[in-house]
Amino acid sequence: MTLHKKAPLLNLREGLAGLSVLSSAAMRRTVHLSARLASVRRASSAASAASHKPPSDVSVYVHWPFCTAICPYCDFNRYLDRDVDHSAMCASLLRQINAFVGPRGLLPGRAVKSIFFGGGTPSLAKPSTIAAVISHVRSVAGTTTDDLEVTMEMNPTSVEIQRLEEFAHAGVNRVSIGVQSLIDADLSYLGRRHTAKEAVHAVELACRIFPYVSLDLIYARHRQQTVQSWRQELQAALALGTRHMSLYQLTLHPGTSFHRRSQSQGGGVALPLSDSIADMYEVNIEECSRMGLQQYEVSNFAVPGEESRHNLQYWSAGDYIGVGPGAEGCFTDNAGTTWHTRAIRKPAPWLASLADGGLGLDMHESVPMDDILSNALIAAMRTLKGLPHGRFLQLSRGRSMHEVLDMDFVQRAQAGGLIVLDAAGLRPTQRGLAVADAILRDLTPARS
């Protein structure tokens, strides 16, 4: 049985005029919601800025953009690992951290709750660079806690596996391992440079070294992948004992090799049919739950209490800064203005800007109210926790959900078992997570 075929969902989908599983892209949702929320900014302009108090904490994302190879599905900001000046990269990362959370930065005095090293391939950085960044954040930020979450993405190649203990000694306490598949033929198809045997060894070793280990897998990889083969592969991955899983559906992003091949006749990239993808999504929930990992976001599962605190900061509309080439941030400053920043994408001009005393940014602009609310709703409706009333009131400068949301739609979606709006706030049900994109299209009323 698939999500498409279940009668209750079909009836609900007809009643709500178009809800669908695994629907439109996030960019279209953002534009749509922004247009529909445009009047919120105008209506709330008279509200006191004091009601939009900035959060007391912030998360730090650190982007290391270098890779040994470019995966055919990846659309992140990444470059081949050639002649990297590790000393200059380290110094520039520290300068950019100062610009945000240092005593004279944009967010002085903020407590840092998490650091996340992403990429690219951050495990290609020297352990001394990772240690310097962590130490610098602890020394210049307002405060950090002893249980500061420090995550690093890594690939399970033999070279990177040899450095696990060094990264742990540097201060990393959580690793996210890009296994992606436990089938060698599919690893080759995905452009990965490790084998299934290496991946298993990496996970087992990481579980002995780090207190928190997450495993990443990609499903719905190609037309030949069946629901049963995916179930068996996921069971094998769960048997490795990790307490956090990130399970991502393969997406053919424009500009990637896979997307170009999918557009050409005989290009060799054909994804499973939508019913099979929906069945695989159900398998994720069933198998993870069977092993004690509960779904807390569309693609993420964890033993209760071991969710990614850093990613929860994004999904709860919390503040985060981005350092490193191409890294993005979104935060509210101490005066109550929300800003969106993006670092210069290419490493050479990013390094030059910071060496010359600049901020290393190519964008630093205020975020209008309609975008603040649409982004918060988009992120929150991907999680079972959703968006609390208190945070919504902060973001909307005092306007309640009942004033902003389309309450007729909310009532129908609640009756259909897709969302909950109660004293805690707004959140999707587990069924609602599967149609979150479509819910967002109708969640806010059209306004003139």
Q: What is the pLDDT of residues 271-295, one digit of tens each?
A: 999 999 999 999 999 999 999 999 9
What is the spatial distance between Cα 219 and Cα 110, in angstroms, rounded to a whole number?
Answer: 39
pTM of the model: 0.87
Looking at residue 440, its pLDDT comes to 85
Element (H, E) at 175: strand 174-180
Does the pLDDT of residue 8 top 50, yes or no?
no
Q: With 60 as the cut, is the pLDDT of residue 114 above it?
A: yes
Nearest to 299 by CA among 180, 216, 178: 216
Strand order in the sheet with 111-119: 294-297, 300-302, 244-249, 212-219, 174-180, 143-154, 111-119, 57-64, 320-323, 328-332, 338-343, 361-366
**Per residue in 73-110, pLDDT tens?**
888 999 998 899 999 999 999 999 999 999 999 999 89
Question: Can you read off the two tokens belonging to residue 303?
Answer: 């033993």
Q: What is the pLDDT of residue 141?
A: 87
Q: Average pLDDT in the 115-141 region?
A: 95
Q: How far is the C-alpha of 208 from the C-alpha of 63, rounded, in Å?
A: 26
Contact of 258 with 269, CB cutoff 8 Å: yes
Alpha carbons 162 and 14: distance in angstroms, whole number: 54
Helix (H, G, I), strand (E, B) or coil at 274: helix
More confident residue, 59 or 257: 59
Position 438 scores a pLDDT of 85
State phi, psi for 320 to the nearest 5 degrees: -150, 150
Whole-angstrom Cα Rg for the chain: 22
Q: Which residue has the higher pLDDT, 46 or 304?
A: 304
Of 243, 252, 63, give the one whose Cα is nearest residue 153.
Answer: 63
